[in-house]
Structure 1
Amino acid sequence: MTAPAATRGRSLGERLLRLVGLGASGPLAEHRRRYAGLDQDRPLTDYTFTVLDTELTGLSPRTDEIVSIGAVKVRDLSITADSFYSLVAPRGGVPKVSTMVHRITPEMLRGAPRLRQTFPRLMEFLGDSLLVGHNIGLDMSFLNRAARDILGGRLRIPCVDTMRLAQVYERECWENYYDQFDSRVSYQLGDLSASYGLPAFDQHNALYDAMQTAYLFLFLVKKLKSGGIETLRDVYLAGRSWRWYL
Structure 2
Amino acid sequence: MTTAPPTPSPRWEVQRSLDELGTPLRDVTFCVVDLETTGASVRDGCEITEIGAVKVRGGEVLGEFQTLVAPEGSIPAFISVLTGITNGMVVGAPRIEAALPAFLEFAAGCVLVAHNAPFDIGFLRHFASAQGRAWPEVEIVDTARLARRVITRDDAPNCKLSSLARAFGSPTTPDHRALSDARATVHVLHALMERLGGVGVHTLEELQTYTSRVSAATRRKRHLADGLPHAPGVYLFEDERGRVLYVGTSRDLRTRVRTYFTASEKRSRMGEMVALAARVRGIECATPLEAEVRELRLIAHHKPGYNRRSKFPEKTTFVKLTREPWPRLSLVKAVLEDDADYLGPFASRRAAEQCLDALHQTFPVRQCSGRMPALPSRTPCALAELGRCLSPCDGSVDQLTYGAVVRRLRDTLLRRPDDVVDTINHKMAALAAEERFEEAGAHRDRLASFVRAASRTQRLGSLAACREVVAARREDDGRWAVHVVRHGRLSAAGVIPPGADAHSWVDTLRASAETVAARPGPVPAASAAESERVLRWLEQPGVRLVEVEGEWTCPVRGAAPHLTRLAPGPRDPATVGLPSPAGVS
Q: TM-score, normalised by structure 2?
A: 0.32
Mapped contact 1:52–1:72 kept (Cα < 8 A): yes
Residue 89 (structure 1) aligned to one of 70, 90, 106: 70
Per-residue CA distance 1:2-51 (angstroms, 9 max, x = gap)? xxxxxxxxxxxxxxxxxxxxxxxxxxxxxxxxx74433242101110000
Mapped contact 1:44–1:232 kept (Cα < 8 A): yes
Residue 193 (structure 2) aligned to one of 221, 233, 237: 221
Mapped contact 2:47–2:71 kept (Cα < 8 A): yes
Aligned amino acid, residue 111 of structure 1: G
Q: Which has the larger radius of gyration?
A: 2
Instruction: Output the CA distance in 1 between the equivalents of 2:160 and 2:181.
Output: 11
SS where residue 151 of structure 1 aligns? coil
- How many residue pairs get matched? 196
Matched, 1:208 2:180: yes
Q: 1:53 to 1:116 in 2, by over 3 A?
A: same
Q: In the alignment, which residue of structure 2 is the partner of 1:137?
A: 118
Mapped contact 2:37–2:50 kept (Cα < 8 A): yes
Q: In the alignment, which residue of structure 2 is the partner of 1:162?
A: 143
Could you list the structure 1 runs, at least 4 aligned residues long, displaced by more than 6 angstroms after superposition. Answer: none
Mapped contact 1:147–1:155 kept (Cα < 8 A): no
Matched, 1:103 2:84: yes
Q: 1:74 to 1:81 in 2, by over 3 A?
A: closer
Shift of 1:100: 1.1
Instruction: Output the CA distance in 1 between the equivalents of 2:18 and 2:130.
Output: 30
Shift of 1:151: 2.6
Q: In the alignment, which residue of structure 2 is the partner of 1:193?
A: 165
SS where residue 51 of structure 1 aligns? strand
Q: Which has the higher contact order (CA 8 A, sep 6+)?
A: 1
Shift of 1:198: 2.3
Shift of 1:83: 0.4
Q: In the alignment, which residue of structure 2 is the partner of 1:237?
A: 209
Q: In the alignment, which residue of structure 2 is the partner of 1:12?
A: none
Shift of 1:145: 0.7
Shift of 1:186: 1.6
Instruction: Output the CA distance in 2 between the equivalents of 1:199 and 1:66.
Output: 26
Q: In the alignment, which residue of structure 2 is the partner of 1:66?
A: 48
SS where residue 139 of structure 2 aligns? strand
Matched, 1:38 2:10: no
Q: In the alignment, which residue of structure 2 is the partner of 1:127?
A: 108
Mapped contact 1:79–1:214 kept (Cα < 8 A): no
Shift of 1:130: 0.3
Shift of 1:203: 1.0
Mapped contact 2:50–2:68 kept (Cα < 8 A): yes
Shift of 1:197: 2.2
Shift of 1:137: 1.0
Aligned amino acid, residue 123 of structure 2: F
SS where residue 198 of structure 1 aligns? coil
Per-residue CA distance 1:110-163 (angstroms, 9 max, x = gap)? 000000011111111011000111001100110001110113444432111111
Instruction: Output the CA distance in 1 between the equivalents of 2:60 and 2:47.
Output: 28
Q: In the alignment, which residue of structure 2 is the partner of 1:56?
A: 37
Q: TM-score, normalised by structure 1?
A: 0.74
Per-residue CA distance 1:167-209 (angstroms, 9 max, x = gap)? 1112xx57xxx6xxx9x72211111111222223251110010
User: Which is helix-richer, 1 or 2?
Assistant: 1
Residue 127 (structure 2) aligned to one of 143, 146, 154: 146
SS where residue 108 of structure 1 aligns? coil
SS where residue 168 of structure 1 aligns? helix
SS where residue 88 of structure 2 aligns? helix
Q: 1:205 to 1:136 in 2, by over 3 A?
A: same
Instruction: Output the CA distance in 1 between the equivalents of 2:60 and 2:50.
Output: 21
Mapped contact 1:194–1:200 kept (Cα < 8 A): no
Instruction: Output the CA distance in 2 between the equivalents of 1:218 and 1:166.
Output: 12
Mapped contact 2:162–2:174 kept (Cα < 8 A): no
Instruction: Output the CA distance in 2 between the equivalents of 1:160 and 1:199.
Output: 22
Q: 1:91 to 1:189 in 2, by over 3 A?
A: same
Shift of 1:98: 0.8
Instruction: Output the CA distance in 2 between the equivalents of 1:152 and 1:99.
Output: 30
Structure 1: gaps spanning 5 or more residues: 1-34, 241-246
Mapped contact 2:172–2:180 kept (Cα < 8 A): no
Aligned-residue Cα RMSD (Å) equals 2.0
Q: 1:82 to 1:121 in 2, by over 3 A?
A: same
Per-residue CA distance 1:77-100 (angstroms, 9 max, x = gap)? x14150000000001111111111
Aligned amino acid, residue 25 of structure 2: L
Q: 1:127 to 1:60 in 2, by over 3 A?
A: same
Instruction: Output the CA distance in 2 between the equivalents of 1:81 and 1:202.
Output: 21
Aligned amino acid, residue 220 of structure 1: L
